[in-house]
Structure 1
Amino acid sequence: MSHDFGLDPRRVDPEYDRHGGFPVFEAAQPGPGFGRFVAAMRRLQDLAVSANPSVDTWTDVADRAEALVSELAPFEAGEGVGPANRVPDLPGAGSLLAPPWLVEKFEADEVRLRVTFSRFHVGGNYAVHGGVLPLLFDSLFGMVIHAAGRPISRTGFLHVDYRRVTPIDVELYARGWIREAEGRKAFVNAELRNSDDELLAEANGLMIRLLAGQP
């Protein structure tokens, strides 16, 4: 199940427009070329941290990378305008910032993801960098808030406990849910497990609904 990007947050938060101008993210349909581009860029990220070619090869690929930057630069747009993070059918919704997750369940009681980390996410000894997991959990917290129909919120705190080494190149499973809600506060839990249902990491955090005028 994908994000319901069509849910207008103004329906549940009349003060939404006064919260620092957060854009309303609606689903984008950029065509198959964008999906191919994101997939190639993810692979390129892996190679950027693992390849060891000759000096001449680095010069050649740097020239081509700079040419690609020049080609795309005239089209740079504001937040919520480009398709990145707005294509629910693509891993990570088409955002290179996010680990490549896919949504399995997107309901008020729980959000579930499938995620596979790769060489780009390695911290050492072929294990996922510890700093990548808070990024995954924070993204999941935001999905949990949205799925529950709560108004736009920011992270008050996020605590992660690392239980096992998180591997790359295998499909893992993350889930998040609201443990307790009180007024502007929502306390959220999440966990990451492998295919044997072993707990790799767990998180808890506080999501706070923004007041009018807060960015």
Structure 2
Amino acid sequence: MVEELRALQDAAAGAVPPADAVREASVLLARARELLERHRGAAADQIFGRLLELPGRGQTLSPPLWITRHADDEITATTWFGPFHAGSHGAVHGGAVSLMFDDALGRVADLGGRPRSRTAYLHVDFRGITPLRRRLAVRVRMSGQEGRKRYLQGMLHDGPRLCAEATALFVEMRPGQQ
């Protein structure tokens, strides 16, 4: 279902459908929504964003992240941005790049048995155009920790070319915070 929703988002973003196709798609989407609404659950039981075995944890707003290697303080991965994440002129929207970094950096912040944390700040430097529809390399590492503060760095590459890099501060949540 998650993969189909991702594919649907890309198809909708890249389509110029005639009126009859819009009407038919709208009917099908309404039927799917009605089906899923009958199975609504408590926030703690919902699967969206919690399917750890899937790229992007099943959260279809975030670009998928396929982790190829991980350690307690670092991951390497690949990602892919489809038409749903497009900005203009064939480039990925900067907000989508930032969203990918927030997800990837947050994963590393919480690896190694560390308690959960939240983003305190995220700074992204765009070094070149991030292309659509290509496998891109992601590398994220934790560069330091001071008490509850976790400092992280990330890079996004298209082959040898640096597309963007990020620095972030994540703060460990206190007991009872969610």
Whether these two folds match at TM > 0.5 is yes
C-alpha distance in 2 between matches for 1:131 and 1:171: 18
Partner of 1:106: 70
8 Å contact from structure 2 (residues 122, 168) kept in 1 = yes
Partner of 2:161: 198
C-alpha distance in 2 between matches for 1:47 and 1:191: 28
- Give the one of 11, 36, 43 matched to 1:72: 36
Q: Report deviation, 1:88.
A: 3.5
8 Å contact from structure 1 (residues 158, 203) kept in 2 = yes
Q: Report deviation, 1:187.
A: 0.8
One-letter amino acid matched to 2:156:
L
Q: Report deviation, 1:199.
A: 0.9
8 Å contact from structure 1 (residues 155, 205) kept in 2 = yes
Q: 1:192 to 1:152 in 2, by over 3 A?
A: same
Q: Report deviation, 1:61.
A: 1.0
Tell me the alpha carbon deviations over residues 64-86 of structure 1, each in whole angstroms, 9 at most, x when there is no partner.
11111011101122334233333
Flag structure 1 segments of 5+ consecutive residues without an equivalent. 1-36
Tell me the alpha carbon deviations over residues 121-140 of structure 1, each in whole angstroms, 9 at most, x when there is no partner.
00111100000111111111
Tell me the C-alpha RMSD between the 2 structures. Answer: 1.5
C-alpha distance in 1 between matches for 2:89 and 2:42: 38
Partner of 1:45: 9
8 Å contact from structure 1 (residues 111, 147) kept in 2 = no
| Between structures 1 and 2, the one with greater strand share | 2
One-letter amino acid matched to 2:4:
A
How many percent identity over aligned positions? 34
Tell me the alpha carbon deviations over residues 24-64 of structure 1, each in whole angstroms, 9 at most, x when there is no partner.
xxxxxxxxxxxxx2222111101212211211221111011
- Superposed, 1:1-215 pairs within 5 Å as 37-195=1-159, 197-215=160-178
8 Å contact from structure 1 (residues 155, 207) kept in 2 = yes
One-letter amino acid matched to 1:68:
A
Give the TM-score taking structure 1 as reference length.
0.78
Q: 1:60 to 1:121 in 2, by over 3 A?
A: same
Q: Report deviation, 1:90.
A: 2.5
Q: Report deviation, 1:176.
A: 0.9
One-letter amino acid matched to 2:174:
L
Partner of 1:22: none
